[in-house]
A and B are shown apart, each in its own frame.
Chain A
Amino acid sequence: MATRKTAAKSNVSTDELLSYYRDMLLIRRFEEKAGQLYGMGLIGGFCHLYIGQEAVVVGLEAAAEEGDKRITSYRDHGHMLACGMDPNGVMAELTGREGGYSKGKGGSMHMFSKEKHFYGGHGIVGAQVPLGAGLAFADKYKENGRVTFTYFGDGAANQGQVYEAFNMAALWKLPVIFVIENNQYAMGTAQKRSTSTEEIHKRGEPFGIPGELVDGMNVLAVKDAGDKAVAHCREGKGPYILEIKTYRYRGHSMSDPAKYRTREEVQKMREERDPIEQVRGMLLKAEVGEDKLKEIDKEIKEIVNASADFSKESPEPALEELWTDIYADEIPQEVN
């Protein structure tokens, strides 16, 4: 089975670059704001920031078409913004307000949008992977030509149910792209300390699933790999694995002591490989002026600030909401 590295093509338009820049910057600034709100005590519990990994979802969203589905783990804010969900609704879910995508019931890890075909953040490591295969099954059953992007991390790649899903997806030739966002650390455990093989994309080989390694700091490389995977699925050839090597700058969650890697390692990645800076460089080289980029920065800042305001102003859910959305017809509960 072919496993190969994808190199970025150079024939990309300035408009495309601008759109990648804008989308990645939105995620970056949104996440920075979420981090601030967390620090201020406005967001409670879990909050997994996507900073550093922006090129993965932005590149793959560029390869997706209307109606394609996406499902991911708990590090899900970037996926939602990249597929066009409203930053207000995402931020308000983080602060647990009525205006959040799940009315404050789900929190950071559990949000959904039927309109954007986003099938959720999922809080159990790896649990979304069979769901992604099931979504793809439904697409195939309905013969609608859609594909499902099923995201999970290098840590989840060691969950048994991932391989149950691989087997079924290959057996039934499901149009699913398994996207392994390899940020190299499963919480505080480096890949080499938890994973028997370095090349996780090769783990599909025994099932007959082609896989490839992709530079996840380069949005163009991700887009190219996404195009190829999507074409494979739409042609009815079954699942495809993309192992996208990326890096998260922040901790696993907000309570990460960051003792498992050096400050220098993070700094080096930020300085030399940053996905947004790479595109910024390309734009400047393509003679897009600083003014234009500043204009985008300003626009993004406004969107993010508005989402923060919304997330503070939106009311807390009414007490009655505690007992709703459990069943279609609510079962009466004794409340005392």
Chain B
Amino acid sequence: MPRMTMIEAIRDAHVVAMEADPDVIVMGEDVGYFGGVFRCTAGLQKQFGVARCFDTPISELGIVGTGVGMAAYGLKPVIEIQFADYMYPGYDQLVSEAARLRYRSAGEFTCPMVVRMPTGGGIFGAQTHSQSPEALFTHVAGLKTVVPSTPADAKGLLLAAIADPDPVIFLEPKRLYNGPYDGHHDRPSVPWSKHPDGEVEAGHYTIPLGKARIVREGTDATLVTYGTMVHVALAAVEEAGIDVEVIDLRTLLPLDLETITASVCKTGRCVVLHEATLTSGYGAELAALIQQDCFYSLEAPILRVAGWDTPYPHAQEWDYFPGPARVRRALETVMKD
């Protein structure tokens, strides 16, 4: 099976979708001629023409708004917002229009649109190029939110997102574009070409939205996470020497609660991990749901490990980033009780 980076896998998903359906179009800042700031759309304009892959002005509100109009009339826009942090100017269109079109028209009109955005830190992007705003999307009824953690998942999930009849937010952990990242910033990173999860099937396949993946089976505790943190979690578990079940959510909404609760009811201990800031983060939602469904199986309080409640720092990136040491400490704490 060919090996790809997450960038190549995402690009490949675009190619597959565009070949299969002439209504799929790709737009965003620099996605056409330039091929995308992270190269996820490289060559698409050349292959499919300027009518199907084109550059937009730097107008996020306008980009999302025109996308909603296109989607309402049968196109399938796949939009790239250059950084998730740039979504804020376009947020009104996502919330008030994209997410609500189906409900407000009682199903008469829909918005089958994908908005892709690189998310998260780890590249010294500081506060405006490193944020993880997923909770802003999961809080909005009408949106679906996806965060892949491997090239193979990125391709299959993106193809499922493009086929989905509703608007999907597709958050691409930019720290994972070129290789898995275990949070040890002082060690050389492994490229996807040397990692088994870099294997990506050719052609069309989908990974259903709303289905989590048990990345590592274990009996002592459950670690629930997604995106970049999946790889940090795996590293932390190995270092802690505890038999932890690691769950990669893949899709935050719809959420595969069944897989999570089955695991936590089995292990009785749980740590929730994400890179986004702690307060009102998605981890709070997870903790609430898990305690509700697993209350009588829990041996210890659920702990959250997350980014600090600060702007994403530049120089102190690794102090902010919830790396393996913090995850390990949390695992050790839940094991004590």
Contacts and interface: CB of A to CB of B under 8 A. Distances in A.
A44 to B, nearest CB: 17
A327 B102 contact: yes
B118 interface: no
B-side interface size class = 35 or more
A48 B290 CA distance: 45
Interface string B120-142: 00000000000000000000011
11 contacts: A101-B105, A102-B104, A113-B108, A131-B66, A134-B67, A134-B70, A137-B70, A138-B69, A161-B62, A167-B62, A168-B57
Given A130-B66, A134-B69, A134-B72, A160 B109 contact: no
B213 to A, nearest CB: 19
Contacts of B253: 331
Interface stretch (A2-10, A104-112, A237-245, A280-288): A104-112
Contacts of A120: 101, 104-105, 109
Contacts, number: 141
A95 B7 CA distance: 51
A190 to B, nearest CB: 26
A106 B70 contact: no
Given A325-B102, A326-B102, A327-B166, A133 B66 contact: yes
Contact of B73 (A111, A135, A161, A324): A135
Interface string B72-94: 11110000000000000000110
Interface of A: 69, 71, 101-103, 105-106, 110-114, 119-120, 122-124, 127, 129-139, 141-142, 160-161, 164-165, 167-168, 171, 324-328, 331
B65 A331 contact: no
Contact of A129 (B25, B56, B65): B65
Interface in B273-309: none
Contact of B69 (A114, A119, A171): A119
B218 interface: no
A131 B72 contact: yes
Given A132-B69, A167-B59, 6 more contacts: A114-B108, A119-B72, A124-B92, A134-B66, A324-B107, A325-B103
Nearest to B74: A138
A106 B69 contact: no
Given A112-B105, A134-B68, A139 B59 contact: no
Contacts of A139: 73
Contacts of A122: 96-97
A326 B103 CA distance: 5
A141 B75 contact: yes
Given A131-B66, A134-B70, A161-B65, A110 B166 contact: no
Nearest to B61: A161
Nearest to B55: A171
Contacts of A124: 92, 96-97
Contacts of A101: 105-106, 108
A132 B69 CA distance: 6
Contacts of B155: none
A113 B141 CA distance: 23
A160 B110 CA distance: 25
**Interface core residue of B51, B59, B110 (most chain A CB under 10 Å):** B59
B166 to A, nearest CB: 5
A133 B65 contact: yes
Given A131-B97, A134-B69, A331-B254, A164 B104 contact: no
A168 B66 contact: yes
Contacts of A136: 69
B335 to A, nearest CB: 30
A192 to B, nearest CB: 27
A199 to B, nearest CB: 23
A112 B108 contact: yes
Contacts of B175: none
B116 interface: no
**Interface core residue of B62, B74, B164 (most chain A CB under 10 Å):** B62
Interface in B176-223: none
A120 B141 CA distance: 20
A160 B71 CA distance: 22
A327 to B, nearest CB: 5
B328 interface: no
Given A106-B104, A326-B103, A112 B69 contact: no
Contacts of B70: 134-135, 137-138, 141
B63 to A, nearest CB: 8
Contacts of A130: 61-62, 64-66, 68-69, 93
A328 B166 contact: yes
B93 A110 contact: no
Nearest to A69: B73
Interface string B19-41: 00000010000000000000000
B26 to A, nearest CB: 13
A160 B254 CA distance: 33
Contact of B62 (A106, A112, A113, A133): A133
B53 to A, nearest CB: 12
B311 interface: no
A122 B62 CA distance: 15
B105 A110 contact: yes
Nearest to B108: A112
**Interface core residue of B92, B107, B108, B142 (most chain A CB under 10 Å):** B108
Contact of A141 (B51, B65, B108, B109): B51
A134 B66 CA distance: 4
Contacts of B25: 141
